Every structure is written in structure tokens, then in C-alpha cells.
Chains A and B, each alone.
Chain A
Amino acid sequence: MRLEDYNPLENTQYSILDPSGNILKEEDVPNLTDEELLYLYKTMLFTRTIDEKSLSWQRQGRMLTYAPNTGQEAAQVGSAYPMEKGDWLVPAFRELGAWLVRGIPLKNILLYWYGNEWGSYMPEDVNVLPVSIPIASQLQHATGIGMANNIKGEKNVVLTYVGDGGTSHGDFHEALNFAAVFKAPVVFIIQNNQYAISTRRVIQTASKTLAQKAIAYEMPGIQVDGNDILAMYVATKEAIDRARKDEGPTLIEAFTYRLAAHTTSDDPTKYRENNEVEEWKLKDPILRFKLYLQNKGILNEELDEKMKSELEQEVLSTFAAIEDKSDTEIEDIFKYHFEVMPSQLEEQLKEYKSFLEGGK
């Protein structure tokens, strides 16, 4: 496909597989090996397993507030997969699938939600920024990283995510504007999961699609069926290639659905009907891809079960290594604000430690 040929104002979605896993456009099917396809599937399963376990732990009081990715696995995994070594990932907070693709250790991810900053300490070769909670603010960081690549003459590309709610924020517009003006090699992915907490997408903006906002900034915009992992892969890959060739930024709207709640502190039954959820369950990205792979003959129930069981084991054992062992060290609270701790922080740390040791 060609991004330039796509007109977001026509309000169509780019897709390759239908909800039942059947191929819509043979010529668009990407050239991926069986291993790669199974990897994509397994990673989506992994994402869902982690979500299910985390939600369950949260309800048991063993995990803090958690933001699940249920239903958005394809949008995340499919978009992150075409990235190359050295490329940057700048997330918001609901990109578990993408983090797994980019190599953030599961331990780190769980540690973050468990409430310890060390979860955001990325390994040396993992170019991923920590979770960014102020909505859309991370998009500017992504643009800046991209601008720096241009200045340095490096060919790395930046992939960044935002939600449908985030597209209303000034930061979104400033970031896209800057990226286009400076031809930053950034791919902006909107995970349009139809809800910003309880606010439906139609309230967020009068625009018919989010992808068409790209037109204002003079960059390609495309709406993709976010639950179609192959479509996400193809569209994002093209955008990444574009950026790497110095052709500038792209906006991709991944049209998907948030099957679970906004976070564990949210009750979706207050603002949406169950039959809507049921409808979208039929478009489940994992189900769709499973059917496709089964049709292709590279997946069967046995393998599926085996994968699920392995993944569950990994999640359980990783969490066991963290649970009840992850209190923040007192020094860590103070040590990382500056390269050299200023004297008043040293003093405060000393005072507090003395208090804990039963001093006067």
C-alpha cells in the first residue's frame, strides 16, 4: 500500500484480515516467516496474560492501579514490530504489547505497576522512555528525539503513542506541528480505543476521523483497523520506512476498542452498554489472528495451550520475584534528582534515617 494514496477524509479503514481471519487483500499480506507470525501471536497472548493476571492481582489487593490493554494487543504489537534496533519508543501508558516487542523485561513492567521507579530503568540497549502520564506530553519528547536524530545525522526513527483523548490536547498539536516543520522522523500512533475514560470518541472532536488531523500539519494520515495485526504492521512499517528516508512524520490512527476498563479504578458499566462490548469481542484481535494462523496451518490448539501455559508460568514466576520484595530503598528516593546530591537533600536524608534508627 502507499500512504500517500490514502485519503483520511474518505473515512475508510485500511485492513488486511477480516474479523474471522480471512484475507481481504492478498497483495497486502506482508512477507513474514512462520516464526515471525507465531512470535506476533505469542506476544499478543503474552500481553493478554499479563493483563489478566495483573487485573486479578489488583482485585486481590496484591497489585496497585493497573491499566489493561485488552482488545488493543494488535494495535500495539503490530505497530512496534517493524521497528529496528536503535529506534526509539515513546509510550503513553497503555502500550504493553509494544514494550514487550521492544525488549523491556517483564520484571521491569510489573515493577512499574507495582509502584517502584526501578521499573522505569530501561536496560542499556532498550531505547524506550518511561511511562508518561500527563496526556499527550510525550509526543513532544518524541518529536524532540526525532529532531535530534536529524541534527546528529542518525537514521533512527521514533514511534510514539497517544490515545483518542490525547488528540484534543494542545501538546498533540504542537508536537505534530513541530514534527512536520522540522521533518522529524516520527511515527505518531493514535490508539483510538473509542473511550477516554468515560468520554466517547465523538465528544472528543467534531472531526470524523482522527487520522484526518494529519492534513492540517501536512503529513500523511491513515486510519487502520487496529485489531488487524497485519494491517497495523504494514501501515506502520511503511511510515517507519518513510521516516527513515527523511520523508518526515506520519500519523496512524489505530481504530480499536478498549474491551476492559480504563484502569482498575474505573467501572465501564456506568457509561457503556454491555452489548457494545460483546460486539467488539467478536472483533478480538487475538481471536482473528488465531483463526488466520490456524487456516495457515501453523497453529493448533495444542500449541496454543502450550504457549498459554508457558506464558502464564513466566508471569507468575516473575511476579513472585517482585511481590513483597520491592519496597523502595530510602536512598533511592533522594539519590536520583541530580548527578550530585545537593546538601539540603543530604541533610534531609540523614535526618530521616536518624529518625528511623531511633535517634533524637
Chain B
Amino acid sequence: MTNTLNIVQAVNQALMNEMDIDNTIVVYGEDVGVEGGVFRATIDLQKKYGVERVFDSPLAESAIVGTAVGMAINGLKPVVEMQFSGFSYPAFNQIINHVARMRTRSRGRYNLPMVIRAPYGGGIRALEHHSESTEALYAHIPGLKVVIPSTPYDAKGLLIAAIRDPDPVLFWEPKRIYRAFKQEVPEGVYEIPIGKAKTLEEGTDITVVTWGAMVWDVQKAAQIVKDKGIKPEIIDLRTISPMDRESFVESVKKTGRILVVHEAPKTLGVGAEIISIINEKAFLYLEAPPTRLTGFDTTFPLPRGEHHYIPSPERIAKAMVDVVKY
């Protein structure tokens, strides 16, 4: 049985499905209880599971994550929300110094089956700080998993996998496409493995790696280049850490060319890592320099300048053509 959901609804259903069968899951954060979250991701959860399992917390990101650490140590599975990924930084101390380390620090005696969810990314004409893409900061830290879905089907399957993972997962949801489309999603539980990318389209001329909302812009760009006879292979990374290196390495062995597309700023972004991996694993197959198309090394502009920042399908298409014609 399936239903047609958008990403927000898929997240909501994932939480409901899991909370139905696992009563150690607790959901909390700012405004997630009564209101159901500012994006409605947790709507109706409190009604269904009660205020003990789904509740609003005081406004304190550090404590939201810090207490989740304690809860996870003591046998619960907290799924906490950062209202926007740009507000996760007060909890950075807890995330880097404890969430990422508790297992290795205690040599496995304590592990944290917890999830930190947050809407992330730009493109919604919002105020400052609400458009961040800093997944690279977190993916750089050993001990953390960072997952970014791009469709409702993936969002639900990956969130369920994240909840079931015995280790901490940062589940960053691309808010620009929260409600942009719907998709058939099974009503029951299913998992999509964390650490596995997905090839959206097979091609022969160039490998394009991307994730989150940019998947849609890349697909639009693919349409443009197909008219010019270029056949791109598109890979949705889905998990930033641990990365499915094999997916794009094998693809580049076939195409000889790679373009990474991400919203986040260029320098030291995840694209740099992907290209380094290509260098290590597929150097001798390259026909053109591995290339990345990203946001600028600037702060995300306010709404009036936002449209310049996120790479447009036209820019992506041009980059693809440039790499193919190298």
C-alpha cells in the first residue's frame, strides 16, 4: 500500500511508523510538540504519542542535543530537531565533543542511537541564517553520519534507517523542496541503507554527483545537455558521511569525467572531498579535470540576491558541457 507524500509528510510518516513499534523513541526540540514543528514535520506526533514522548523544549540548542546524549546513553532513542541547521551551532560543542566521540571515548561501552534533524539549505527567500549549507563541517568530524535526502521516498526510508542506526545521524532535510512535489511512498516501514548513493540516470559522457535540493536543478540541467547529445550519469549521493565512494568512482571509470554540484560554499566543501577521492581511485581514467560547481565563498545572500547564489540549471548545464568538451 502506498500513499502520495511530499518530503515533510514523508518525514512525519517515518517518525510515526517507527514510534508505533519502538517506544524508546522520543522526539523533542523547539516548537515540535504542540505546534508540530515550524515546518510541520512533527505534526500530530504529540497528539498520538503523548507529551512524555513528544514535547517542546526550552529554547536551548546545546541542551537539546546535550540531553539527547544523556537519553541515548540511558536506553532511549532521541530524535531531536534543530529548528534550522543554521541554529545548530550552539550545539556544535555537544555534537563535536560528545555526540561524535562517546562511542570511541568509552571504547564501545556507551553508544548513541540518536538522530538530529534539521531543515537545511537555501532558496526560500528567508532571513539571514536560515539558508545554511554547512554539511561539510559535520561530515569532517569522525564519528558522525550526515544524511541528506532528495525525495519523499528516500526521506522516509533514510530517516527510518537513521533512527535504527546505533550511531548518531545528522539528518539534514532540504527545505527548499519540502513541499515542491509529492511521490508514492509505501505506507509501511522500509529502510534505505545509509552510506549508499543512488544513480538517478545512467549515462556515458559525464558523471554528475549532487545531493539535496540540487538534485532537481541537476536534472533540469541534464535535460538541457541531452538536447546537445550529451548523456550524463547522475548520482544522488544521499549520504555525505560515510560516502558511497564506489558509486561515483565506478561511474567515472566509465565516463572519464566528473562534475560535482552543491549549494554549499566552494572552498573546502564536500565537492573537494569527492574530487580527491577520484584522484586517489580513478586518476588514470580521467579525460578531463574533475570539476565542481558550487555556491560562492560568500555568506548566503539575503532574498534579493539569493537567485545569484544557488547554481542554476543553466550554469550547471554549461559546466557539464565544458567538462565534456575538454
Contacts and interface: CB of A to CB of B under 8 A. Distances in A.
A40 to B, nearest CB: 28
Nearest to B60: A174
Given A130-B105, A338-B103, A151 B69 contact: no
Given A144-B74, A148-B74, A338-B242, 16 more contacts: A117-B105, A120-B107, A140-B63, A141-B67, A141-B69, A144-B72, A144-B73, A144-B78, A147-B67, A147-B70, A151-B53, A170-B90, A174-B66, A332-B107, A337-B104, A344-B242
Given A151-B53, A152-B75, A343-B242, A143 B66 contact: yes
Given A143-B63, A144-B66, A174-B63, A117 B142 contact: no
Interface string A131-154: 011100101111111111111100
A255 interface: no
Given A151-B26, A342-B195, A137 B66 contact: yes
Interface string A87-131: 010100000000000000000000000000110111000000110
Interface residues of B, number: 46
B75 A148 contact: yes
A140 B107 contact: no
B52 interface: yes
A191 to B, nearest CB: 20
Chain A contact residues, majority secondary structure: helix
Contacts, number: 138
B97 A148 contact: no
B321 to A, nearest CB: 32
Given A88-B74, A178-B57, A342 B242 contact: yes
A301 interface: no
Given A148-B76, A151-B26, A171 B106 contact: no
A130 B106 contact: yes
Contacts of B65: 140
A175 B106 contact: no
B66 A129 contact: no
A166 to B, nearest CB: 13
Contacts of A181: 58
B76 A129 contact: no
A139 B53 CA distance: 21
Interface of A: 88, 90, 117-118, 120-122, 129-130, 132-134, 137, 139-152, 158, 170-171, 174-175, 177-178, 181, 332, 336-339, 342-344
Interface stretch (B108-116, B151-159, B172-180, B200-208): B108-116
A167 to B, nearest CB: 15
B75 A141 contact: no
B93 A134 contact: yes
B98 A141 contact: yes
B58 A146 contact: no
Nearest to A123: B109
B31 interface: no
The 3 A-B residue pairs whose C-beta atoms are closest, nearest first, are A144-B70, A140-B66, A144-B67
Given A134-B97, A177-B58, A171 B66 contact: yes
Contacts of B108: 121, 336
